[in-house]
């Protein structure tokens, strides 16, 4: 059901501002983002900077998850000052640094992928905690049901040829879900792991991952789908051959961090499946979990078709450059 935008209501903003003031008194705040999904303020007090974030129920688990991760992985995720999980409010310290995409460096992208994989490994046993926060359960069995239910709807934005090609893949996609359901543990998946959500801090020579509002409990390898797309940041121009070579390198980097969790051949097989099935996972993320609930439906109604088309293009690329 389509949601109203809560922060467009003056009384909401006043309550939010009072909560912020109670936790960080005397800071000066101004709005830097106001969409139908996120209301974000930046504040300053002396030499310190802070961020106050409100989200809709689409990201209802973000506050609790962010606070939990901040305790378990200090420095690798933003420091959380306060949350109101019932109202989806989050107050954080500024992380400093700059987004990876602002100054692309392959060594930093590799380091980010390694550290992220280590976080995922450490969070394997925390699934029930995440679910209690409201993080969506999108493990392969659920994904399989979603594909069976929604694939024809997802194809609505494709041309006839593309739609026929996608629908012809349904049985293969369902088999992929079955294969990913066994062989290695499920964990946390960030949902939007790109170079704008990973920051490098020159002062401390370390990384920080932010914006966990799209996180789910699912197969951890689905995270590579968005990250692979972000590897275009490292190229001087859009070149799919050079991009695919970057992916081939990063596969090894990521799987080395998962060594010992499952046999090597299983890890490789799961990763290659996740690269493709992850496109459908992303299409469903938009269609089932975001667009139908947001106020500005048109802002993301085309996303599912984009991801399905990307799958078709990616499969063709892999055939040409195995």
The pLDDT tens digits for 27-53 are 999 999 999 999 999 999 999 999 999
Answer yes or no: do 250 and 115 share one domain: yes
> For 131, how many CA atoms within 13 A lie in the half-sphere containing its CB?
12
Percent of residues, the chain, with pLDDT higher than 90: 96
Of 72, 93, 114, the residue that ends a domain is: 93
Answer yes or no: do 217 and 269 share one domain: yes
Answer yes or no: do 87 and 178 share one domain: no
Please give the radius of gyration of the chain, using alpha carbons only, rounded to the nearest integer: 20
Q: Which domain holds residue 152?
A: 98-320
Residue 261 has pLDDT above 70, yes or no: yes
Answer yes or no: do 13 and 108 share one domain: no
Residues 91 and 53: their CA atoms lie apart, in Å, by 6
Residue 28, classified by CB atoms within 10 Å of its CB into exposed (0-12), middle (13-18) or buried (19+), is exposed
How much is the pLDDT for 253? 99
Answer yes or no: do 204 and 230 share one domain: yes
If residue 274 lies in a helix (H) or strand (E), which one and from where to where?
helix 264-284
Residues 185 and 261: their CA atoms lie apart, in Å, by 8
Helices (H) and strands (E) in the chain, counts: 11, 10
Answer yes or no: do 190 and 306 share one domain: yes
How much is the average pLDDT of 132-158?
A: 98
Of 70, 93, 116, the residue that ends a domain is: 93
How much is the pLDDT for 1? 62
Answer yes or no: do 185 and 310 share one domain: yes
135 lies in some domain: yes
Answer yes or no: do 30 and 152 share one domain: no
Bridge partners of residue 44, in order along the sequence: 28, 49
Residue 201 pLDDT class (50, 70, 90 cuts):
very high
Residue 145 pLDDT class (50, 70, 90 cuts):
very high
How much is the average pLDDT of 304-320?
A: 97
For residue 53, the domain's CATH number is 3.30.200.20
Bridge partners of residue 28, in order along the sequence: 44
Mean pLDDT, rounded, of the chain: 97
Q: What is the pLDDT of residues 67-100, one digit of tens each?
A: 999 999 999 999 999 999 999 999 999 999 999 9
How much is the pLDDT for 203? 86
How much is the average pLDDT of 294-308?
A: 95
Residues 190 and 167: their CA atoms lie apart, in Å, by 28
46 lies in some domain: yes
Answer yes or no: do 202 and 152 share one domain: yes
61 lies in some domain: yes
281 lies in some domain: yes
Instruction: Report the b/e string of 3-23 with b at 16+ CB within 10 A.
Output: eebbbeeeeebebbeebbeeb
Of 54, 76, 93, the residue that ends a domain is: 93
How much is the pLDDT for 322? 80
Residues 224 and 314: their CA atoms lie apart, in Å, by 14
217 lies in some domain: yes
Bridge partners of residue 41, in order along the sequence: 31, 52
243 lies in some domain: yes
Q: What is the pLDDT of residues 250-260, one digit of tens each?
A: 999 999 999 99
- The count of domains in the chain is 2
Answer yes or no: do 141 and 222 share one domain: yes
1 lies in some domain: no
Answer yes or no: do 185 and 63 share one domain: no
**Long-range contacts from 33-38, C-beta under 8 angstroms, 24+ separation:** 34/7, 35/296, 35/299, 36/3, 36/5, 36/294, 36/295, 36/296, 36/299, 37/213, 37/290, 37/294, 38/213
Question: Measuring CA to CA, how many Å separate 128 from each of 41, 133, 216, 275?
Answer: 31, 9, 12, 26
Answer yes or no: do 213 and 311 share one domain: yes
For residue 247, the domain's CATH number is 3.90.1200
37 lies in some domain: yes
């Amino acid at each position: 059901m389509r949601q109203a935008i809560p922060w467009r209501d003056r009384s909401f903003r006043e309550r939010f501002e009072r909560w912020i003031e109670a936790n960080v008194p005397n800071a000066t705040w101004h709005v830097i983002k106001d969409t139908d999904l996120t209301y974000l303020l930046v504040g300053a007090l002396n030499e310190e900077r802070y961020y106050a974030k409100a989200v809709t129920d689409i990201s209802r688990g973000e506050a609790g998850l962010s606070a939990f991760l901040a305790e378990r992985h200090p420095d690798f995720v933003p420091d959380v000052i306060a949350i109101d999980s019932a109202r989806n409010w989050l107050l954080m310290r500024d992380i400093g640094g700059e987004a990876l995409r602002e100054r692309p460096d392959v060594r930093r992208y590799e380091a980010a992928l390694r550290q992220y994989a280590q976080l995922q490994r450490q969070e394997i046993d925390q699934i029930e905690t995440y679910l209690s926060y409201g993080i969506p359960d999108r493990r392969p069995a659920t994904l399989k049901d979603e594909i069976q239910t929604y694939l024809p709807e997802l194809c609505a934005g494709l041309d006839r040829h593309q739609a026929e090609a996608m629908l012809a893949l349904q049985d293969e996609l369902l088999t992929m879900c079955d294969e990913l359901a066994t062989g290695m543990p499920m964990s946390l998946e960030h949902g939007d792991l790109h170079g704008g959500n990973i920051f490098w801090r020159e002062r401390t020579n370390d990384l920080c991952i932010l914006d966990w509002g799209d996180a789910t409990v699912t197969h951890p390898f689905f995270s590579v789908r968005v990250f692979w797309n972000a590897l275009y940041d490292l190229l001087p121009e859009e070149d799919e051959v050079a991009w695919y070579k970057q992916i081939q390198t990063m596969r090894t980097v990521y799987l080395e961090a998962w060594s010992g969790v499952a046999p090597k051949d299983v890890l490789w097989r799961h990763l290659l499946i996740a690269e493709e099935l992850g496109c459908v996972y992303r299409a469903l993320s938009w269609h089932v979990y975001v667009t139908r609930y947001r106020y500005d439906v048109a802002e993301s109604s085309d996303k599912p078709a984009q991801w399905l088309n990307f799958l078709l293009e990616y499969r063709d690329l892999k055939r040409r450059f195995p």
